[in-house]
Amino acid sequence: MRVSRYHMPTLKEAPKDAELASHSYLIRGGFIRQLAAGIYDFLPLGVKVLHKVQQIIREEMNRYGGIEVLLPAVQPSELWKESGRWGYYGPELLRLRDRHDREFCVGPTHEEVITDLVRRDVRSYRDLPINLYQIQAKFRDEIKPRGGLLRGREFIMKDAYSFDVDEAAAKENYQLMYKAYTAIFGRCGLDFRVVEADTGNIGGSMSHEFQVVAETGEDYVLNCPACDFTVNQELAPIPEPMAATLPVPLALAEVPTPDQKSVEEVAAFLQVETNQVVKTLICLVDDEPVAVLLRGDHELSDVKLRRALGADQVSLADDATVERVSGAVVGFAGPVGLAEKIPILADLGVQGLGNVVVGANRDAHHLTNANQGRDFKVDRFIDVRTAVDGDHCPNCADGKYSLFRGIEVGHIFYLGTKYSEAMSCTVLGENGKPQPVVMGCYGIGVTRIISAAIEQNHDDRGICWPVPLAPFEVAVLALQMKDEAVVEASESFYAELQARGIDVLFDDRPQRPGFKFADAELIGFPYQIVVGSRGLAEGQIEVKCRRTGEKLDLPVAEVVDYVARQIEQERKGLA
């Protein structure tokens, strides 16, 4: 491709809302343009990167048994009502009506549509296994679209769905997808970790996330360096603490704590450590109020609470509920006297505590020296606090969690029969009787991969694409288009590299060298071949590696061989 005939409008300034390097460089480099919040046009360079990602995904999905289909973006509400998710999915689901007043949605995911397709065409256990995938635009009306392609409202996903006769076969398919994903992200040149994860509102019982390690990631992940157990922080388990001897109970007393609402304020006011305060969180578990006790310096993981209780939804109660249940304004709820009204759960970390400070269920008051058993009772102790960096690993004897941030680029779920039962997707088994198929589903954020790759590969001048994702692998920069020798040499590099199957861009614009350099650095071509009058007169050409900044002066005759060899090596990515 010649830049003079191409469309790559680069910009000097980043958009005001672009806080992340990937967002800023995608816009400045002329890869994407924003059409509306979280909705983007793909310009030619963006499409080239997208196609490279998609190609890698297709090759690996096909290698591990995936079969490509293409499903509609617009889906009838009836299917969502059958699965039960029409009421459950909430405002992320973009709902619309057609001219006949029938309800539809723009697909945020395709479990319903694919299950419907399969139940119509697949009859017998002999038709299984199958694993169908597609690469297609999804719409989720995200409350906070962020970071350009990182969290869009319209974005491209690869979603796959496997159908099997039984659990064992379904788990085999799951393992195949695990391998496919590992290969895909490796070939994309990403530094990633596989993480035990929550199944969220997709449902199911086993799931892994593929997290790209990045300071700017939204996900917090804990890894134990001793045994390599890696788990999303929101569900990371904590080992049961050793039994502690409780202190001798002192006399319970009510003390005024005017305006002291947070644990820190109360602790400072009463001159105790925050770990001697027990906070009482009034939560709604599937709409029922429940009290959850936590040590003052610990945080609740609502995901762990939801999973521990097998609930669909968990949230902190609204102020009115807190006031109704505790009889005090928010900040003063406590367990003493609460058991008559609602169930009291406590985190494992509360087990060994005595003589603690708790809310008094009275405005502006706390109780000191409250003790379990004597002053309040706990219905159940469960592991519900958020694990943090330095907590003991539950998986091995001597490891401790260490925290990193990640960008979730892929997620695989073992679904079981959740959808097939709800939607009667059955096959005739060997015994001639209908049985529900066993499913798995597997997503990749295709457009999110692009942002994640840039978050991991950039500097203050622009993007440093890994070769497998680069929009062009090599750029030939002709520094003086008025110098015939420069033009001739550049043309021949361009032609020879193309002949060798290398994706090359020829910057043949009449612009000055500084302008071309800046664009090449910003867009991030892995190799630049710099053809300038002076060097050429001495028979030397500069070849620059974008990632390392390394510059080599090579004789004209060696340039193509050298660059072709480098590209060949780096195309393989990390895999």
Nearest CA to 149 out of 7, 41, 13 is that of 41
**Which residues are CB-neighbours of 306 under 8 A, at least 6 positions away?**
285, 312, 313, 314
Tokens of 130: 């199958």
Size of the site for ligand ATP (CB under 6 A): 17
Which of the residues 416 through 445 are near ligand ATP (CB under 6 A)? 443, 445
Q: Least separation, in Å, of the C-beta of 89 and ligand ATP?
A: 11
Select from 6-14, 373-381, 405-413, 510-518 the region that touches ligand ATP (CB under 6 A).
405-413
CA-to-CA distance for 506 and 486, rounded, in angstroms? 12
Contact segment (CB under 6 A) with ligand ATP among 393-401, 402-410, 461-469, 550-558 equals 402-410
Query: Which range of residues in 149-157, 241-249, 277-285, 356-364 is near ligand ATP by CB under 6 A?
Result: 149-157
> Is residue 85 involved in binding ligand ATP (CB under 6 A)?
no
Contacts 24+ apart (CB under 8 A), 267-273: 267/296, 267/357, 270/357, 270/366, 270/368, 272/357, 273/297
Residue by residue, DSSP assigns 413-446 as EEEETHHHHHTT-EEE-TTS-EEE-EEEEEEEEH
The nearest distance, CB 131 to ligand ATP, in angstroms, is 16
Q: Which range, of 173-181, 409-417, 468-476, 515-523, touches ligand ATP by CB under 6 A?
A: 409-417
Least Å distance, CB 359 to ligand ATP, is 33
In this chain, which of 409, 469, 523, 536 binds ligand ATP, going by CB under 6 A?
Answer: 409
Contact with ligand ATP (CB under 6 A) among 46, 66, 152, 471 = 152
Are 258 and 247 contacting, i.e. CB atoms less than 8 angstroms apart?
no
Q: Which of helix, strand or coil describes residue 29?
A: coil
Closest CA to 247 of 381, 374, 352: 352
Q: Which is nearer to ligand ATP, 155 or 525 (CB)?
A: 155
What minimum distance in Å lies between the beta carbon of 178 and ligand ATP?
14
Q: Does 141 bind ligand ATP (CB under 6 A)?
A: no
Q: In angstroms, rounded to a whole number, what is the distance separating the alpha carbons of residues 443 and 189?
A: 19
**Angle separating helix axes 446-456 and 44-63, nearest 10 degrees:** 110
What is the distance of C-alpha 72 from the center of its chain? 24
Nearest residue to ligand ATP, scored by beta-carbon proximity: 445
Check residue 157 for interaction with ligand ATP (CB under 6 A): yes
Using alpha carbons, select from 279, 281, 255, 280 the residue that is nearest to residue 269.
Answer: 255
Q: How many other CB atoms are there within 10 angstroms of residue 463's CB atom?
A: 28
Q: Which is nearer to ligand ATP, 152 or 532 (CB)?
A: 152
Residues 6+ apart with CB under 8 A from 538: none
Of 142 and 172, which CB lies nearer to ligand ATP in the complex structure?
142
Regarding 155 and contact with ligand ATP (CB under 6 A), the answer is yes
Whichever of 180 and 505 has its CB closer to ligand ATP, that residue is 180
Candidates 48, 306, 411, 546; binder of ligand ATP (CB under 6 A) is: 411
Where along the sequence are the contacts to ligand ATP (CB under 6 A)?
109, 140, 142, 151-152, 155, 157, 200, 202, 408-411, 443, 445, 447-448
